[in-house]
Amino acid sequence: MPTETFEFQVEARQLLQMMIHSIYSNKDVFLRELISNASDALDKLRIEALRDDSLGADVSDLHIAIEADKDARTLTVRDNGIGMSREEVVQLIGTIAKSGTAEFLAKLREAGDAATAGDLIGQFGVGFYSAFMVADEVTLLTRRAGESQGTRWSSGGEGTYTLDTVEDAPQGTAVTLRLKPADAEDQLFDYTSPWKIREIVKRYSDFITWPIRMATAEPGAAGQEAAEKGEDAKDGAAGEDGPAAAPEPKQETLNSQKALWARPRSEVSAEEYHELYKHLSHDWADPLETIHVHAEGTFEYQALLYVPSHAPRDLFGQGAKHGVQLYVKRVLIMEECEALVPEYLRFVKGVVDAQDLSLNVSREILQQDRQIRLMRRRLSKKTLSTLKDLRTGRPEDYATFWREFGRVLKEGLLSDPDNRDAILDVATFASTHDAEQPTTLAQYVERMKEGQRDIYYLTGESRASVENSPHLEAFRDKGFEVLILTDPVDELWVEAVPDYQGKQLRSVAKGEADLATEEEGEEAKAEREQRDKDYAGLLAWMGERLKEEVREVRLSSRLTVSPACVVSDVGDVTPALREMYRAMGQEVPAGKRILELNPGHALIEGLRAAHEQRPDDPGLGELAELIHGLALLAEGGRPGDPARFTKLVASRLKSSL
Ligand SMILES: Nc1ncnc2c1ncn2[C@@H]1O[C@H](COP(=O)(O)OP(=O)(O)OP(=O)(O)O)[C@@H](O)[C@H]1O
């Protein structure tokens, strides 16, 4: 097949342009990215070979090789891993399938200055394309294990790339960079220098489990290298000096291959932890928190878990990645093992290495495995307790965590009743107590007023809509704090969590608001009874008039300013919840709700008087409808028949002129 030329997908081209114009200042990381991809490819090959005997791939010496050619100014990163088919090359290298790429690029353009853009791209990570930070041409030669033909992909990073079919390509992938001239001012170093390569590998890829080898000409090259390195060479390169002789190529393994998770915590630096995280997660930013567990006893395992500092774009998407890597005695057997982490902790990245599992255990078996379940329990608890410590110890980082992942964690209130209290201890909520600072439930309980028995909350679309809700009026007047819950998941978990520290969670928009009863004196009681009598006629009439839409019309003790509001009964499905079910394709019949009237409001008092005098006036029936419509509008809903409602309002406005 002749060479064919293809265009990059638009997003891919834009990202590449950014790489070429180097908005990311630390260019050394391109090598980390290429090694990380090579290591993944080796993992994949071994896992596939384990499952499929017929693959026919040679897995006897899996490794990564780095080859530098000083004269040609090229650098090659080679692996004998899984490789890619031609279709995969087109799909994986020519396009960017990541969700949210377009928005990300728009944000980058908005950012304007290079530093912010660098930060942003650090959050996004661009893997293979980062090669274009240091190269003006990149060639990738690859052959997928089990296939006979290879593919060569090549591009200068502008608008197009070429593809060739190659007959005798070795299995795996070799990425060759034609390096840009070194320019130390632009942090563009000489990446053919063995010293520089060693430094980068040590720094970013030391823990990679596969050997990373480099051919160096010894000892002549070492002398030359020392010269390049300057003064420092004297400290580190002891033993490399020797009589100048004809250079003999020698294979040197650059990484220690030590599994970080198997080392004692005290021996691992924060930077080492972070580099492993970046390799595992493909994130360019440091994690927020690292959790290192050594479990001993009858069932031995090590776990190294990370809480990222920002949410991936697809955290709520259908194909959201979930799970950690599962190793058995240092051998990776599964890349995303869901059985080890509950779904509500799907943002956690990391590695679990168990001593006593079978190497070819399947996903289905894992779900049932008792040891896996025990690990999952322990790791969930450990993660939650770490997050709780984060909240108390590093409030700013906790705030970042909660902003990024709070909504996901709250799903656990529904799915993991065993850890419900632990999740509630981590959680914080917006509240009427403070416009900025969220509160924990424990803090809420501490502030509860004398005579307040329950924890009050109100769900809604936004803080503003909740704060303006009529349901809140009497609670505000009495100084009772109300939690403001605005995440969709809040509608769900409040139904599942009955109490906290023995205090019931109660919606201020549900049931009777019995705020007054506790401190109410005899006089007030008599007054209330008289009022009930006075209003009995109006309530019965209105209940009949609106019976298609409401279950009951009653006097309210929660309103102080608004004329009316609509409430649900405890246990009823709220309109917002019904909307959510509908979005999930589940119709829940709309139950009737309760209309509450404020007897202290002039409109309601006036209506009562008018109804007493002219019970048959048809205008009063319309007024009843209007009051119901207003109550629905006030909580962010809408009248059942908006056209009729508008007509009634318009005619009344007209008569006011
Ligand atoms: N050496 C390789 N061997 C086999 N496949 C590879 C190799 N390098 C890249 N790929 C394939 O190309 C895909 C895209 O690589 P790229 O580095 O751009 O993104 P990524 O590693 O998936 O994610 P990120 O950009 O976040 O690092 C990889 O997911 C992998 O499937």
State the ipTM, two decimals. Answer: 0.96
* Mean pLDDT value of segment 40-53: 88
pLDDT at residue 65 is higher than 70: yes
pLDDT of residue 249: 75
pLDDT of residue 51: 80
Beta strand 564-567 with 593-597 is antiparallel
Contact 338, 383 (CB under 8 A): no
pLDDT at residue 656 is higher than 90: no
Distance from C-alpha of 20 to C-alpha of 157, rounded to nearest angstrom: 7
Beta strand 499-500 with 503-507 is antiparallel
CA 16 to ligand 1 centroid distance, Å: 15
Residues 650, 553 share a domain: yes
Task: Please report, for the domain that includes residue 350, its CATH number.
Answer: 3.30.230.80
Q: In this structure, what are the phi and psi dihedrals at residue 145, rounded to the nearest 5 degrees?
A: -55, 130
| Residue among 47, 90, 92 whose CB has most ligand 1 atoms within 8 A, to mutate | 92
pLDDT at residue 554 is higher than 80: yes
Residues 500, 535 share a domain: no
CB atoms within 10 A of CB 537: 13
Residues 8, 47 share a domain: yes
Contact 189, 196 (CB under 8 A): yes
pLDDT of residue 237: 42
626 against 110, higher pLDDT: 626
Task: Please report, for the domain that includes residue 120, its CATH number.
Answer: 3.30.565.10
125 lines ligand 1 (CB under 6 A): yes
* Mean pLDDT value of segment 318-325: 80
Sign of the CA dihedral with 551 first, then 552, 557, and 563 last? positive
CA 39 to ligand 1 centroid distance, Å: 10
- Please tell me the total count of domains within the chain: 4
Share of the chain above pLDDT 70, in %: 91
pLDDT at residue 521 is higher than 70: no
| Nearest partner of 152 among 179, 175, 177, 130, judged by Cα | 175
pLDDT at residue 247 is higher than 90: no
pLDDT of residue 526: 83
The H or E element spanning position 67 is strand 64-69
Tens-digit pLDDT profile for residues 176-202 = 999 999 998 888 899 999 999 999 999
Choosing from 507, 542, 574, the residue where a domain stops is 507
176 lines ligand 1 (CB under 6 A): no
82 lines ligand 1 (CB under 6 A): yes
- Report helix, strand or coil for 269: coil
Distance from C-alpha of 34 to C-alpha of 403, rounded to nearest angstrom: 32
- Report helix, strand or coil for 65: strand
| Nearest partner of 289 among 180, 440, 396, judged by Cα | 396
CA 25 to ligand 1 centroid distance, Å: 22
| Residue among 45, 128, 175 whose CB has most ligand 1 atoms within 8 A, to mutate | 128
Residues 442, 389 share a domain: no
pLDDT of residue 265: 94
Is 297 within any annotated ligand binding site? no
pLDDT at residue 593 is higher than 50: yes
DSSP structural state of residue 568? B
CB atoms within 10 A of CB 622: 16
pLDDT of residue 123: 64
38 lines ligand 1 (CB under 6 A): yes
pLDDT of residue 239: 44
Distance from C-alpha of 374 to C-alpha of 381, rounded to nearest angstrom: 11
What residues make up the domain containing 605?
Answer: 522-656
Residues 164, 115 share a domain: yes
Q: Enumerate helices (H) and strands (E) in the chain, giving the number of each.
A: 23, 23
pLDDT of residue 651: 92
Residues 349, 209 share a domain: no
Tens-digit pLDDT profile for residues 303-313 = 999 999 998 87
| Nearest partner of 601 among 555, 561, 541, 557, judged by Cα | 561
Q: Tell me the Ramachandran region of residue 623: left when phi exceeds 0, alpha when psi lies from -120 to 50, beta otherwise.
A: alpha
Choosing from 472, 507, 542, the residue where a domain stops is 507
Most confident of 1-15, 137-151, 362-376: 137-151
CA 420 to ligand 1 centroid distance, Å: 38
What is the separation, in whole angstroms, between the first and last Cα of the chain?
A: 83
pLDDT of residue 234: 43
Choosing from 253, 288, 303, the residue where a domain stops is 253
Q: Mean pLDDT for the chain?
A: 87
